[in-house]
Amino acid sequence: MIIAVDGPAASGKGTIGAALAAHYGLPHLDTGLLYRAVGEAVAAWIDDPQIEAIATRAAQALDLDALDGEKLIGADAGVRASRIAVFPGVRQALFDAQREFALKPEGAVLDGRDIGTVIAPEADAKLFIVADAQIRTERRARQLEARGATVDRARMLRDITARDARDAAAPHGGFRPADDAVLLDTSNLDIEAAIKAAIAVVEAAIARKAASRT
């Protein structure tokens, strides 16, 4: 079974993706980490006129097994990731690794922006997680503060809004929910309720699939 969990920055898709993976005993890939790792690898060149070629080479050389989620969680890494994610060469270079993960024989959960539309359009269950930008900012701020970081909430809200705009206007057409994705608005849900709702979506997808086979 392939489960695709897409959505904007700090919508809760990573937490939901990890919870679904644990619930169904599937491997989980947070695909934002790939873009964040490329962004970090080229941080020194982010304003260089050659950044597209530099970032594409870094994406081609990325080692999936060396990704360190804790090092890449920061707000600045997210902003850099969204700057290099617009380059077609970067997206192409990261496509194969994501596709290979999606096709693991035991199934997989992937979270990101284009899992249900580009990476695994055949996914058995697709969720698109949304939440109000203020609420996403507060959640991400608390997550970082729990790790000892000092957070400027006004700046974080600006960064998240700018990232939403850049992601929406990306040259590849921007990120949109797949036609067959179920929209889950977590603005007014705590994490337990959001996970419960996500599991209900997957269960409904499994039931639909079983019914279509009979």
Residues near ligand C5P (CB under 6 A) are: 9, 31-32, 35-36, 78, 81-82, 85, 112-114, 163, 167
Closer to ligand C5P at the Cβ: 113 or 126? 113
Minimum CB–partner distance for residue 213 and ligand C5P (Å) = 30
Q: Largest Cα–Cα distance of the chain, in whole Å?
A: 57
| Residue 94 CB, nearest approach to ligand C5P (Å) | 8
- Which amino acid, 80? R
Burial class (CB in 10 A: 0-12, 13-18, 19+), 33: buried
Nearest approach, Cβ of 32 to ligand C5P (angstroms)? 2
Instruction: Write down the least CB distance from residue 78 to ligand C5P, Å.
Output: 5
Which residues touch 196 (CB under 8 Å, ≥6 apart)? Answer: none
Residue 36 or 126: which CB sits closer to ligand C5P? 36
Q: How far is the CB of 162 from ligand C5P (least distance, A)?
A: 10
Q: Report the nearest approach of ligand C5P to the CB of residue 82 (Å).
A: 3
Closest-CB residue for ligand C5P? 32
85 or 202, CB closer to ligand C5P?
85
